[in-house]
Structure 1
């Protein structure tokens, strides 16, 4: 289960949505859940997830939670940062 936190006004967040969806389809086709949330629309939940910047991608399952902040365009960095495989 992945959760992508974005800022609706930020161009980097819009690119993060596209890049994250492409990453998931390329590396986990049919084996992932992706939840996309706006920090502005879900302030309390973002605080609970300890989101301090956008975009932030959380791997919330399996535990432990892993987080990746920033540019989602490099698949190798995402795989490593989220501990999703070699």
Structure 2
């Protein structure tokens, strides 16, 4: 992955501490540590606490991950357990591992 020095801003919308919400956050942290180490910020928004914030990013389902920066803005719905779908959705290209 090319290093642009840009910090990735990720926003995860959840509704309480459901199994899916917890899994989504754990999966997201794992991928970020693996592919974006020290280059990401995760903001978790609990819509049970702040329901008005769903409108800004047009959240229709939860959990939903929104990639704000770098653009383009992308959304991924679900518990983020499908690593390949998440990486493609976030436009993260894994660095080739040396053989």
TM-score normalized with structure 1 length: 0.90
RMSD of aligned C-alpha atoms?
Answer: 1.3
State which of 25, 40, 49 in structure 2 corresponds to 1:41: 49
Q: Find the counterpart in structure 2 of residue 59 from structure 1.
A: 67
- Where 1:54 maps in the other structure, the secondary structure is coil
Stretches of structure 1 that go unaligned for 5 or more consecutive residues are none
**Number of residue pairs aligned between Structure 1 and Structure 2:** 86
Q: Find the counterpart in structure 2 of residue 29 from structure 1.
A: 37
- Where 1:26 maps in the other structure, the secondary structure is helix
Q: Distance in 2 between matches of 1:21 and 1:11?
A: 15
Describe the superposition over 1:19-62 as per-residue Cα deviations: whole angstroms up to 9, x where unpaired. Answer: 11111101111111111110121212111111111110010012
Q: Find the counterpart in structure 2 of residue 83 from structure 1.
A: 91
Stretches of structure 2 that go unaligned for 5 or more consecutive residues are 1-8, 95-99
Which stretches of structure 1, 4 residues or longer, exceed 6 Å deviation after superposition? none
Whose helix fraction is larger, Structure 1's or Structure 2's? 1
Q: Distance in 1 between matches of 2:19 and 2:79?
A: 11
Structure with higher Rg: it is 2
